[in-house]
A and B are shown apart, each in its own frame.
Chain A
Amino acid sequence: MNNLFGYVPGNSVIHRLNPVTKIFLTIAVCVAAFISDNLAYLAGLLAVDLLIGFAAGVPGKTLTIFRGLLKIALFLFALQILMIRRGTPVFWIITDEGLLTAVRVVLRLVIVCMPLALVLAVTRISDLTNSFVQVLHVPYQYAFTLSTAIRFIPQFLEEMNGIMEAQTARGVAFDKARGLKKFSMILPLCAPLLISSVRRTDQTAAAAELRGFRLRTRQSAYKRYPFTALDLAAAVFSAALIAGALLI
């Protein structure tokens, strides 16, 4: 759970892409998924997702994310086929159009979410924000807010685990509760957690100011993010994905 969204160090083809290219590729996959209605093409996009994950050398993580998404997808699938009444009934209240729409929605969901999660596995947050500032001229304040928010996730989880552990140790039956019950037990404990988190982000902002936050310019970052032939290839591939969606 803790490192589901964490960075996995590596030197794969995907790792070596410019962070901006990775985001571009992600967006291309998403756009293609929304343009295309062709089931075969959507399945192909899903295969592309998985291939990217494997090429990045994080097959285990790719499958974990995939499995996680499948669970949500199944739930959505069930919801869709029960809700949609148009079309010819195939079985009970389920219609052919319902089935078709449900499959598309679920495929799109998985196709779109996979690369969003994978990007964080193959890109350091600092590289992401730095390249956005350097290459895309995004104002640094926005980039900083984003990176602080993402850096905040593991801290938040760590704190939440700490709280659950402390509460279990004093007899609150977290270790026996599951699912919704557990969630309803955690909820009241989150209030103080949020207060302390907000207090912390104030201090983090102060810490940044004390290390020259306001002096930072577009060219400050030590690392440079040049585009290479690899990026060109990825860009062509991205464009092809969208073109394919339009044509097929």
Chain B
Amino acid sequence: MIAIRDLTFTYKDEKNPALREVSLDIPEGGFLGVTGPAGAGKTTLIRAVSGMIPHLYPGDFYGSVTVNGMDTFETSLAEISRQVGTVFQDVDSQIISPMVEDELLYGLENFGVPREEIPERIGEALRKVGIPDLRYRDIASLSGGQRQKTAVAAIIALRPRVLLLDEPTGELDPHSSLQVFSLLKELNEEQGVTVIVVEQKIMLLCEFAKQLAVMNGGRIAFQGETREVLAHAEEMQDLGINIPRVTTLSRALSAGTGREQPVCINLDEAEAMVRGLMK
């Protein structure tokens, strides 16, 4: 679905590339989690896949990005956005309208969604993110978390084939973060939407993402199935990346028992491992 080939990108007026020789393949229906320290190039990666780079952010662009067969360099941004939905990190700057319903209407109107379909699309998107009661509210009166959910709703109402999210849970508490990721999982599994999500909360990625990419200094340091990537826990820690405690536990149990244990990435696996060792 998405193929990035040797992408090196330097923002205009910057000396150092924000992305260096990045190559990444995400199959249709993939769910990729991206993590890494600040300044690693995560947001730039999202911009490259959404077509904002090179269309809105000029700079030196080497390599190629293909989304569903479209070369982003040659396809217009409007054309790309028909298939790719993006949720920004700074939610306030993403919101265009003063009212929740208008915010959802905006994209639906522009992309020419048939009139009779629109009310149902709005209702459905608001229900999915859990804020149907906020439909007629002023966005200025909402909390940070509610705004974040509004931004997500406005994008999923467009039913994109590819969904890009840049730290979508920044303003959310753990419970709401879980809700958002459950929604991503639902869209991914039931509608085959390809998801790329940048996230600092590594435990959410381990629980929900199928693939993981760890970025550092504009490069992809590790990528692959989530479990394979977490086998590099020690190196990741050296890069300053948080490791789920269950992963640390499984490694410590390997060392302690003197027998190599599989890498754990969630509570269920850790529980099974400990119970197995207690027998």
Contacts and interface: CB of A to CB of B under 8 A. Distances in A.
Asked whether any CB of A lies within 8 Å of a CB of B in the complex, the reply is yes
Interface of A: 2, 6-7, 9, 124-126, 147-148, 150-151, 154-155, 158, 199-201, 203-204, 206-216, 220-222
Interface string B11-32: 0000000000000000000000
Interface of B is mostly: helix
Given A124-B102, A126-B98, A151-B98, A211 B110 contact: yes
Interface string B178-215: 00000000000000000000000000000000000000
A58 B158 CA distance: 36
Contact of B88 (A148, A151, A207, A220): A207
Contacts of B97: 125-126, 147, 151
Contact of B109 (A148, A150, A216): A216
Task: Summarize A's interface: helix, strand, loop or mixed.
Answer: helix
Nearest to B81: A210
A150 B99 CA distance: 12
Given A124-B99, A212-B81, A207 B94 contact: yes
A148 B136 CA distance: 19
B264 interface: no
Contacts of B81: 209-212
19 contacts: A7-B99, A126-B97, A126-B99, A154-B98, A154-B140, A199-B93, A204-B94, A209-B78, A211-B81, A211-B96, A211-B107, A212-B82, A214-B76, A215-B110, A215-B111, A216-B109, A220-B110, A222-B108, A222-B109
Interface residues of B, number: 37
B154 A211 contact: yes
B78 A212 contact: yes
B138 interface: yes
